[in-house]
Amino acid sequence: MFYITLQNQVHLLIVLIFSSYIYLTSVTTKPEPFLKNVGTSFIIPMILSIMSFLTLNITPAQFYLFFSEFALLLALIVVLIFKNAKGINSFINILLYAFPLAVALPNLNFDSLHKHKWIDICLLACMGVILLVIIISALRKNSPPTALYAGMLLLCCSLLIPRIEILDVPAAVPLLLKAISYLIFASFIYKGSVHKLKKEYIEASGELARITDNIQREVNRRLARVEKSDISLAELTKTDTQTGVYTEKAITDFIEYQIEKDPNGEFSVLLVDINNLRKISSKLGNVAVEKCLRTLARILKQNMGKDDKVGRFGDSSFIVVLPNTNVAKAWILAEQLEKEAEATNDPHFSISTGVVSYPIDGENLKDIIKAAKKSLKSFKKSG
């Protein structure tokens, strides 16, 4: 490499570095056919610049460098012309690989070709066409690959300026134009391949996150529904279907729960029974009995506090549990219930109530129920 001038060394490095990056990016990211062909075009300057390095003569080396970029421009023009011709994209890709090999293997000499004026005419024509395409696209508000056109325009300038003898331009200017053009090419390939893949990955990740979030919310919603159904089912198993109050098992379990929760606390229990229910049954029938039970259940529930519970007990009785209620308040409630029951009609019925309190009348479920039955029996005898 050190046999050529510093200018050509820099030129060679620019071509090798950027061409390798652009070509390898297009191969590894597998972009769309057009972008793939654009990237493959850079195998031409990559191989021919290597040939310039292997040529142990300054003049042929310079010609290889020049021709590598001139051929790149022609290749890009062909790729752009057949951009939308999907049927021949694969064929163009094969030609792009074949061309530098066909030039490099015979070790062709570009000395005579380099001196022809038609090269300058081609470069000028290329610049004119590119400018025209950019202007027409801007007027029509199309969206052409502007970056690609800009890179080609700068590359044309970098090749043409040193060939115009009347221009006294520093050697660094064409090199700067080349570097900028290759940067534009690299940016174009990056945005169309790597950047696009990153964008698609971010969008896919975002979409996946949204889907995951939606699934999680749906799972949570269904779990909540299942839990709610489980609670409803559990409550249903505790509820007497005839009257809508707790079953005998559920209400007695609640009494035990009250004792376990606060052994030193106080609560009262009412044992409410419909008087002469058998007479009502024999006189009016089972439908009337059921109506009496439902009416009494409704009266009991209407007089309950938020912490109070009511449940069935036997065939004709109800138990009312009054947490944090002493026996005096329990008797007041019992009298109120008796008055409301006395006011019923269709059918009319009355009730008797046994009132007990924990822990005065009993310290466990068995004793409390026994005391409540005894209190109810005493009430019936006195009534």
User: Tokens 């142990």 — which residue?
Assistant: 56
Position 368 pLDDT exceeds 90? yes
Predicted confidence at residue 231, as pLDDT, reads 42
User: Tokens 């050697």 — which residue?
Assistant: 171
Predicted confidence at residue 114, as pLDDT, reads 59
Where is pLDDT greater, at 227 or 360? 360
Average pLDDT, the chain: 84
Predicted confidence at residue 182, as pLDDT, reads 93
Predicted confidence at residue 261, as pLDDT, reads 87
Q: How far is CA 39 from CA 13, 182, 235, 363, in A?
A: 18, 12, 71, 91
Where is pLDDT greater, at 123 or 56? 123
Position 71 pLDDT exceeds 60? yes
Q: Tell me the percentage of the chain whose pLDDT exceeds 70.
A: 87
d(CA 227, CA 50): 72
Q: Tell me the percentage of the chain whose pLDDT exceeds 90.
A: 32
Tokens of 1: 């490499």
CATH 3.90.950.20 fits 248-382, yes or no: no
- For residue 144, is the peptide bond before it cis, meaning its omega torsion is within 30 degrees of 0? no
Q: Which residues of 232-243 are buried (b: 16+ CB within 10 A; e: fewer)?
A: eeeeeebbbeeb
Query: Is the pTM for the entire model greater than 0.75?
Result: no
Please compute the mean of the pLDDT values over residues 310-339 and round it to a whole number: 93
Q: 169 phi and psi, to 5 degrees?
A: -105, 135
**CB burial of residue 359 (10 Å; 0-12, 13-18, 19+):** middle
Predicted confidence at residue 238, as pLDDT, reads 80
Position 101 pLDDT exceeds 90? no
Q: Sketch the domain layout of the chain as residue ranges.
A: 6-192, 248-382
Position 243 pLDDT exceeds 50? yes
Q: What are the tens digits of pLDDT across the range 190-220? A: 888 877 777 777 888 888 888 888 888 888 7
